[in-house]
Amino acid sequence: MKTSKLGAEAVKIETGGTVMLGFPRLADSKVLSHAISTRVGGVSQGTHGSLNVSFKVSDDPLRVEENRELLSRATGMDLKKAVWVDQIHGDKILKLDAKNSPKGGTLGEADGLITQTAGVPIMIQVADCLPVLFYDPIHKAIGLAHAGWRGTVTHVAAKTLLAMGENYGTRPEEVRAALGPCIGPCCFEVGEDVRIQFADVFPWAAEVMEGSTKDHWKLNLSEANARQLIEVGVKKENLIRSELCTIQNIDLFYSHRAEASAKKQTGRMGVFMMLEN
């Protein structure tokens, strides 16, 4: 295994030919396993090359299964047991527990997933949207949120954290939250409709948007989510940021905006967390 620093607080982990990201400050690996896959080190071909984890982007399912097996070996998590949500760019949060734990697979449509169940990996998939990883070291609980601009407007990350509080007693000031790679303000241009929605919801909207061309703005998705988490009580020192843009680092990450079109799809990175037994 080879590790090197990447971005503000992420480390690049190279093992068995695969490349992943991790956040050393998030948690001790003895209590929490976590990883964000990249596009490097898999068997998918063409526009899915090469470590695509999604079955829903017209990739060969056998290659996706092999990619997940490669990641299982690299992360030490059995991804055949992984549980995920079918993401719909909303604000619904689902809870994984002993009552509804499948033997791997989806819990249904949602954009947040929380659990206290040990030994079962939870997962979301991204290719420009912001992944947010939560760890509550006091109550031994974890959560994942998938935050595109729509999810950000509806506070999906904050709602994921508040759901951890309602179900596990999690207190925001005790949580560590990691903001993974996403499309950066350098590349994320949005129109007037998005600007208006942000301005209607966030008093600081103008501070996370910079004018680009006429009726277009550059949106800082990561900063917008950081601000809403701080507003609900997360301490600034407990926010862990990658500050990595998926488009600027397209050799490592998939980007739906930069690569996908009506005629082709691109792959997805997986974001994995698992409480150790």
Quote the distance between the C-alpha of residue 60 and its chain's center.
23
pLDDT at residue 9 in the model: 97
Task: Tell which residue, 164, 83, 88, has the closest CA to residue 119.
Answer: 83
pLDDT score at 216: 96
Number of domains in the chain: 1
Is there a domain that residue 179 lies in? Answer: yes
| pLDDT, position 217 | 97
pLDDT of residue 25: 97
C-alpha–C-alpha distance, residues 166 and 246, integer Å: 33
What does the pLDDT read at residue 155? 98
CA distance 111 to 144: 8
Query: Which residues, given as ranges, of the chain have pLDDT below 50?
Result: none
User: Tokens at residue 262, please?
Assistant: 């009506």
> Tokens at residue 193, please?
């409709």
pLDDT, residue 218, reads 98
Q: Is 194 exposed, middle or buried (0-12, 13-18, 19+ CB in 10 A)?
A: buried
CATH number of residue 171's parent domain: 3.60.140.10
- What is the pLDDT at residue 17? 94
Domain assignment present for 160: yes
Domain interval for residue 80: 2-184+220-275
DSSP 144: E
Give SS3 for 40: coil
- What is the value of pTM for the model shown? 0.98
Peptide bond preceding 50 in cis form (omega within 30 of 0): yes
Residue 36 lies inside a defined structural domain of this protein: yes
Q: What is the pLDDT at residue 213?
A: 87
What is the model's pLDDT at position 100? 81
User: Do the domain assignments include residue 47?
Assistant: yes
* Residue 129 belongs to some domain of the structure: yes
pLDDT digits (tens, 9 = 90+) for 83-93: 999 999 999 99
Burial 57-85 (b: 16+ CB within 10 A, else e): bebeeebbeebbebbbebbebbbebbbbb
